[in-house]
Structure 1
């Protein structure tokens, strides 16, 4: 526009100058050319026409030049506009790529958090049964993998594939469809596989089941699956599916994620195998403890076994799991073990107890719980012992807890303990009749006893033919019941995840469990009535075995690590536990437990490798990660990306509290956290100080995770200013 006015001014000025010059000089010029008045007048008449023609030519030339300049400038402007348009389109494309990268980064963060949670919760998941664990694993996998619409997970036992859970597909139908393992694609192979027909070869399924599968399975376009293996054996499979109408497809990163899930599942199954015996213990061990207690306390003879039988019967009536019924039984057997620390003069005093003596006796639940908590075998029932004298209304001891804060097993033992005490003779009173004891339980329902437990107990003992000896726990006529006697002992013996043999006084095998046979590759008939040295002891371990035999003969326990041989002569690294037991008719025998620690060490190595993989996700230079103790605010760990961003070394970062890095005031931090909580988000906007003193605005994504039974905050940090400035630049 400025150039336009400059050109216009030039034309006007030139026109004005020529006009005035013509007016001023034309007459003088004519007088110079002629002195004749007539010629002067003639020329005067042509002067105006000449002026018009001259100025017209001049104006034409000036205007044409001006117009040519305009055309040239317009062409340049159009060209520049095209360049700007192309540049703008390029910026928009870059913006989309950056947004996509940010989305992928956030997605990666979420996957990383989920995988960290899975690993940190493995100890909790190990308490689940196989079905619960696999269901949890499948749901996590479908949640973490965005392209997966459906999924299913199976258990494979004795060559039979059983559906455990499904997402999207109809699991209720699938649960009733058991198929041969060979009906699965790649059923005995390692690796990650894809198929357009689920992970099942439907052509190999019997026709009677095909209709069920058609009803149960949603239509898919692709399936990604992997086998779950333990010691080279396939024990299950996890499969993810993409819906038929979806445009998504499985990415390479998804295959790595699924591999991690399979590794996690394999670790879980292996842990379950080696952890099983930790939750079980033998009749002989507990019986020996109870016998000592009965000698010590004249009033407890038969009491512990009575309480155990009653408690287990109530647990069955409450519909508790088989394991919980077993735990209830053993908790009843040892509930008074803390009395071994009460002076015998107080425990067996016939007169009234003093207040000081009564306070001593009230400590026996604490002492008993502490004793059991130190045992790897018994620690899981120690809490039941601690609370078995608590009352429903909170007036019990030792802690005065009430209601559902009292463990259910402790609630059960409290009723069974009170009943047997009422029905037993004491130095200061005769036993109560059955009717009197029933009335006491009824009257204290809701005050001393849990209402639900009291009701089930009353149902159990109100039967006309009821007696402790033939209660549900001891009944051999019921297949579902448990027994302290041979039925229960057989259950522990066969279900143990260790190789167990029972030897006679000559150290000949009179009983072996299946795990022992599998461990050393024998058939049962091949080992019965043979000396233990002739079955599993290699020649170089003969002297060692003789020493072990002498120890158990003298009543000592054996606890050692060594190696033994299987039927083919292959060495098996084992831990060995042995102790004497009483057999029928008072004969002495020996109980020997073998644990295959070579497999356990292999498991530890695999689990360590698995941990290393997840550690590798943390150790990166792209995503800034801090692990923070929420109780103290201490930075527990920081990764290389955090070192690069903040300018401090990992050691320096770990020496700081987050309050030394976050520049917001406590009030501002609280307001930001409350805002995040109100909006149900774990995203915070903070200001962090760097080692250089520079202040950076940051976005922090925090989520709690568990490590070693303690909760920490896992925080991903993004530089807020850089991202905001980049977006603003792209928009402008």
Structure 2
């Protein structure tokens, strides 16, 4: 759905900026012209009594007026043009959130999940700190934060910014009480009130010496075991907020919620099958759920792509191990969209070139996620190349023909088939016959001929 509130706010802002700027130009021009015309007429009338001389002076004055005002107008318009262009570019960057604060952090999530399958807690802590640092660096206005581990006995801070970590680790935070405020978004100093209540007066005085008061905070946490949690807190101090008046945006809060969905998937990682070295379906479903939460139009997309891809794989005679790789690659082919701005994925209007370029990053980003995990890094290449075209005009690498992995060629077709046969906010679906013609017309250009033939055999068999 189009965010009408954002649309009208942006429209009014653009109108005010452009209108005021040009009105200033017009007013300056009118004032300058009025002073020049009436002032110079009076001055020259007093100075020259001869009408011929006066007429010549008036003609010369007119030419000078044209030249001077032309230069003046060019200067004013150019200045306004630069100002408006600067405003529009920055407004567009802000709307698209090109500096996505969680994008870099998500890159570490798969490595973190992979390490959760071991018992080396030091690696888990190290990776969590990496995730925190990457996100912290890109969140505008955030000047404090922490990474902490909560057990059934105590709370241990393992990394802080803007806090005295040694002092925090000596304060009597309790497991049950800490959970009250470690999974939420708090503002208006509500976190300070909660901490004061938990610690009591004397301990709160010690705590307040370790940091500034917190105006707004967002905490995300995930469970390693039944009584073991790991959390991150991103905080804006009262001093910082009073200076900048900038708190967390709705987009930043949404992104951090999506990060928590991914981190909580680590509970399912414990079900990982170490003998067969395959990903359990409930783990993948967790990530698919996160993608569907982020991209409204993708509900059911990954599963349907996987089902059709499997049929084509069987038709092409793929081995059992290849079919397994095809299944997981199909289910996870769009995982890179988790870092694409929410407004772009769910936009109902046609995409701009800049927006299209951002969406095109999802294949490479998704592959970069998977290479961090030993269990799935071998299918990363299939995800990276599922938008290559058979004629070499696709992305991200411009691979051509059989140079594109077969699994990627299969997903390329099934992904497109599901897209054109299902309605999206910005387009209607194609009728079945028209969709078949579309696939056939792209045989040898967008799609691999061998894959198209297998697909058509399956469709024809289904119609019999």
Q: TM-score range by the shorter chain?
A: 0.3 to 0.5
Q: Which has the higher contact order (CA 8 A, sep 6+)?
A: 2
Q: Which structure has the larger Rg?
A: 1
TM-score w.r.t. structure 1 length?
Answer: 0.31
User: Which structure's residues are more often helix, by fraction?
Assistant: 2
User: Which structure's residues are more often strand, by fraction?
Assistant: 1
TM-score w.r.t. structure 2 length?
Answer: 0.46
